[in-house]
Chains A and B, each alone.
Chain A
Amino acid sequence: MLAAESVTLAVPGRTLVAGMDFRLAPGDCCAVLGKNGAGKTSLLLALAGLAAPAAGTVRLGDAPIASRPRREVARRIGILLQDETESFWGTTLDYALLGRFAHAPAAFGADPAGEAAARSALAEVDLAAHAAQPYRTLSGGERQRARLAQLIVQAPEAWLLDEPLAHLDLGHQAATMRLAARLAAAGGAVVMALHEPLWAARVCSRAVLLYDSGRFQEGPVQDVLTQSNLERLYGCRLEPAHRDGTPLFLPAS
């Protein structure tokens, strides 16, 4: 559904990703791992059509994503951003309802279907009790979950999640990862930038590792998430700890 063709991403003075081919199909769950500044966010923004790559094209279906109207793109691709302007004045329910924009038939009048969708999305991220609370007064973790709820209301085919676990407590981290797995199992496609190889190994089928100076590696998690790859990726020593056949790695003390 979404494909990057020989995409190169760069920031002034540095190449982040050089010549990447990447295809996303329904049911995929793909982790993007790398150090701070490795290009995880740039890759997600390029896949969402929000930033043009330095070279190459991103295609949605068979047309370049840049040529599609934003509303159509929004019905098919949703992105959880790492940070957004926090000047929204409405309630948490209003915030979640903004996810309806690409689907809403008219600008005026009530949207009972949208409100029902927003309420059930808030319930899904454990925020049902906060629906009437002003969004500005939510805590960091609650805002993160409200953003997820907005994305659930948007209901795209491809879900691009930039650090979905940021600010979340352990219980909500697990719930969010279960949500990602459910979305992929239901025929969605998920790409998430993570700092936790542990969750990548448990939840994702594929992983992209972004190394320095434009090099990267992509493949099934069991092939890619090896001790030597991860030590090279993060530049630190790791100790293996196996459980249920899933290889886990902890930083060596």
Chain B
Amino acid sequence: VLAPRLDALALGTLKARSLGVAVGATQTVAFLAATVATVAAVLVAGSIGFVGLVVPHALRLAGFGDHRRLVPLAALAGGALLTAADTLARSVVAPLEFPVGAITALVGVPVLLALLARSR
């Protein structure tokens, strides 16, 4: 339900309002939903950096800009990335466990830098 409103908000708050979006309410709901999702993820898994930062932007670059597809895809791709990172973390130095955050950072930092370079 939020997706088309978020698409419209990409044009700025004035234009979004003129298209019929209740901007204040949309921002409040989106902010609350993001907060709840983040808190839940951190409670379950602990804080693991770069996944949330990089995955949505990488998907946008790959051409999934429309929020109706972007939001569920970001959840799936983020989960997939974490699963892969976790598997790696458990296997490279088995029986010890490598910190997962280090692996996501290893993937995330170059992607983030590439994103920054592209946005110029």
Contact = CB atoms under 8 A, between A and B. Distances in A.
Q: Do A and B bind each other?
A: yes
Contacts of B10: 85, 87-89
Interface centre among B15, B60, B66 (most CB of A within 10 A): B15
A99 B5 CA distance: 11
Interface in A207-228: none
A88 B4 contact: no
Given A70-B20, A70-B21, A101 B8 contact: yes
A188 interface: no
A94 interface: yes
Q: Is the interface of B mostly helix, strand, loop or mixed?
A: helix
B11 interface: yes
A74 B19 contact: yes
A88 B60 CA distance: 10
Contact of A107 (B4, B15, B60, B66): B4
B66 A89 contact: yes
Interface residues of B, number: 22
Interface in A67-88: 69-75, 77-79, 81, 84-85, 87-88
Interface string B1-27: 101110110111011011111110000
Contacts, number: 70
B23 to A, nearest CB: 8
A71 B20 contact: yes
Contacts of B66: 89-90, 94
Contact of A84 (B11, B22, B60): B11
A63 interface: no
A70 B3 CA distance: 17
A74 B21 CA distance: 9
30 contacts: A45-B14, A48-B18, A50-B17, A69-B22, A70-B21, A71-B20, A71-B22, A75-B20, A79-B18, A81-B12, A81-B14, A81-B15, A84-B11, A84-B12, A84-B15, A85-B12, A85-B15, A88-B11, A88-B65, A89-B10, A89-B65, A89-B66, A90-B66, A98-B8, A101-B21, A102-B19, A104-B4, A107-B1, A107-B3, A107-B4
Interface of B: 1, 3-5, 7-8, 10-12, 14-15, 17-23, 60, 65-66, 68
10 closest A-B pairs by beta carbon, nearest first, are: A89-B65, A74-B20, A102-B20, A85-B12, A71-B20, A107-B1, A84-B15, A88-B10, A79-B18, A84-B12
